[in-house]
Structure formats: C-alpha cells, structure tokens
Amino acid sequence: MKLFREAFFPMVAVIAAFAIGGIIIAIIGDNPFAAFWIFLESSFGSLKGITETLFYATPLIFTGLAVAVAFRCGLLNIGAEGQLYVAAFATAWVGIKFGGTVVNVFGEQQDWSWVSLPALLLIPLCIATAIIVGGLWGAIPGFLKARFGSHEVINTIMLNFVAIGLVSYFTQYFYKIPGDPILQTAPIGEAAHIPQLNQLLPFVPETVALNISFLVAIVMCVLVYIFLWKTKWGYELRAVGENPDAAEYGGISAKKQIVIAMTISGALAGMVAIGEVLGYRHNYYHGFSGSWGFFGIAVALLGRNHPLGVFIAAVFFAMIIRGGLFIDIDTKYITKDLVEVLQAVIILFVASLQRFSK
C-alpha cells in the first residue's frame, strides 16, 4: 500500500503532462499518438536505443540522488550544476597532471603531466577527486546555512555562477591547447580512461558511449538507500528533515546534519565527472552539462526522493531527452521544444500534487 501511494502521484503527474502535451500536439496539427510513439521507439525500440537512453540517464541518476539526499534533510540543493562543473574540471586536471604524454586535438604529442601514474592508481585518484571536490563545493552552502542561517537556495544558485566562471577562466588561460577554438582542456592521459560497457559486454553496440559509470550509478542508488534507511547517520539526517526542532530535542545536531547532507549531495553531483571526463569526453569541455544539475531536481521530485524512484525517473527523463532528438526529424510540426514543455508540466504537476501525498 505504501509503495502504491508513493508511486501513484508521480504516475498521475506523468499521465497529466502527456495528456496536456497531446492536446498541444493536436492543436498544432500533428498526431499525438505518433509523436509519443517516437519517444518510446527511439528510446526502447532497439538495443542501441536502450543503451543510449541509459547513457543519458547516468548523469541524471547522480544529480537526482544528490538532490534527494538534500531534500531528505529538508534542504533544496540548486547547486548540483556548479558542483558537477568544479568536479569535472578537477577530475580532468588530475588526469592531465598525472596521466603522462597525450595526443591533442591536432594530433600532436604533448606532455602536460608532472608524473605518469598507472591506471590502477590514476583512475581511483580521479574518481576520488570528483567525489571530494564536489563534496567540498557542496559543503560551502551547508556550512553557511548551519553557521549563519543563510538560505541554501540563494547560496547554491550564486555558487553555480562562481563555479562555472572559475573553471572557465582556468580552462581558457591555463589548460586549453593553444589554437583550439573550443573551450576545453587538453585531453587526460589514457591511463585515466575507464572502460566502455561494450568492452565488457559484447552485446552493447560499439557506437554507444555508455561506460561503467552507469554501473557506478546503480551502486550509488543502493548505497544511498542503505545509508538513508539502514544506518544511524541516515536516520539522523532524515529526522532533521522531518522536524529539526524535534531532532534537536532528541539529541541530534541539526547544524551537523545540514553540513553532512550538503557534502554528500555535492559529492554525488560531482560523480557525474566519472562518466563524462573519464569515460566519454576524456577532457573537460566547457558546456558539457545538459543542465543535469537542474534536471536532478525534477528527477528527485518525480522519484519521491527515493533511490529506486530516482533511477526510474532518470530513465524516464532520459527517454524524453533522447526522443527529443528524433521528434524534430520525424514529425511535421513538432520541434524538440516539446521536450521542455513536457518536463515543465511534469514538474508543475508533481509539485502541485505534493501536498496530497503526505
């Protein structure tokens, strides 16, 4: 019964959003059923479509978990975008400085490194960097909230601009290959590359960029669930989110939990860098994020701030994102802007129905 209650209102929100989307499609003169079939067929109609959808879902799982952990402590982390940006740059920096000689975009060999580490050391170091840097960036608004009472929404929004501006500056003036018109760093060393899933699973198409960060995302869903519902620390964090005054009366430090929650939230957002930098682009590319930090809010809301719900919601939003790539081509009047309409309506319905799901 509880599971049904948790799933009911998100399902209503999705159905209502698609109903409104269908009305809009019909008004502009296209067939809504044909349009929605494009979403399904392009995302789940082939093995390539499924793996591409999971590729898009991977960063959304991380940011959805990040926002969900903060939500469980009564906090709203709007800063996952900034946290994943600083983590991605820091991860690329470690991959550059400890990765040895690389071949740049012009086919030239260059050595930006201080020392060349083997993959056995470099990959864990890069992953730890993504987690630590993201966590530290998330801890800043957590500390400001706990120490001075400043609102985490304002702090995290402002820190997004600071993060993106800082990494843009360092990329432009210190780590961009001279002559490269694209704002991106030099490539990381090959020892920092993580395997693509097609290297481990022969049935995964070689053209798909899905890598083992997807498996890491699944593991994090399990670990976040265990942390929140099976440990003393998770109980204390959730207690503060439910009623900070009652938690304080019971001997739980609300200030401490706020800092912990925002640190964990930032660390989860920072893990986006694992797939993007180590598994896909193999450098820091400015503008690599498809607003994943903000999408994480929608994913967490639709997923009811539960790791399983976050996973399902991330795959759902990934389906919409991938379908949007084909909707422009295969329909007469619909553009990919419909994707943003559906996303916005889903969020509005989820937020509106939240009061009835208590």
Give the pLDDT confidence score for residue 130 in this predicted structure: 97
In the prediction, which pLDDT does 6 show? 67
pTM of the model: 0.93
Q: How confident is the model at residue 355 (pLDDT cuts 50, 70, 90)?
A: low
What pLDDT does residue 219 have? 97
User: Locate tokens 């450098």: which residue?
Assistant: 283
* pLDDT at res. 214: 96
pLDDT: is 4 or 176 the higher one? 176
Res 22 pLDDT > 90: no
pLDDT in tens, 168-193: 999 999 999 888 889 999 999 999 99
- Per-residue confidence band for 119, with pLDDT thresholds at 50, 70 and 90: very high
Domain boundaries, the chain: 49-332
DSSP string computed for 36-92 = HHHHHHHHHSSHHHHHHHHHHHHHHHHHHHHHHHHHHTT-----HHHHHHHHHHHHH
d(CA 232, CA 221): 18
pLDDT at 16: 82
Confidence of residue 358 (pLDDT cuts 50, 70, 90): low
- Band (pLDDT 50/70/90 cuts) for residue 354 is low
Q: How confident is the model at residue 1 (pLDDT cuts 50, 70, 90)?
A: low
Q: Which comes out higher in pLDDT, residue 31 or 254?
A: 254
What is the per-residue pLDDT for 5?
65
Residue 261 near residue 142, CB atoms below 8 Å: yes
Q: What is the mean pLDDT of residues 249-270?
A: 96
Angle at which helices 254-270 and 119-148 cross, to 10°: 140
**pLDDT value of residue 168:** 96
Kindly state the average pLDDT of the residues 326-338: 76
Q: What is the pLDDT of residue 351?
A: 73
**Is pLDDT at 24 greater than 80 in this prediction?**
yes
Lowest mean pLDDT among 22-31, 158-167, 293-302, 335-344: 335-344
User: Among the ranges 5-9, 91-95, 298-302, which has the highest mean pLDDT value?
Assistant: 91-95
Q: What percent of the chain has pLDDT over 70?
A: 96
Supply 330's token pair: 């295969």
Helix axes 254-270, 232-242, angle to 10 degrees: 110
The pLDDT-based confidence of 356 (bands split at 50, 70, 90) is: low
Tell me: the pLDDT tens digits for 77-88? 999 999 999 999
How many percent of the chain have pLDDT more than 90?
61
Q: What pLDDT, on a 0 to 100 scale, did the predictor assign at position 105? A: 66
Task: Report the distance separating Cα 314 and Cα 250, nearest Å.
Answer: 36
Q: Considering only 105-109, 192-196, 294-298, which range has the smallest mean pLDDT?
A: 105-109
Mean confidence (pLDDT) of the chain: 89
Q: Give the count of beta carbons closer than 10 Å to the beta carbon of residue 233.
A: 12
330 versus 140: the higher-pLDDT residue is 140
Which residues sit opposite 109 in a β-bridge? 103
Confidence of residue 350 (pLDDT cuts 50, 70, 90): confident
Q: Which fold, 49-332?
A: ABC transporter involved in vitamin B12 uptake, BtuC (1.10.3470)
Instruction: Give me the mean pLDDT over the 220-241 stretch.
Output: 96
Question: For the chain, how big is the Rg over CA atoms in Å?
Answer: 21
Q: What is the pLDDT of residues 148-165, one digit of tens each?
A: 999 999 999 999 999 999
Average pLDDT over residues 37-66: 92
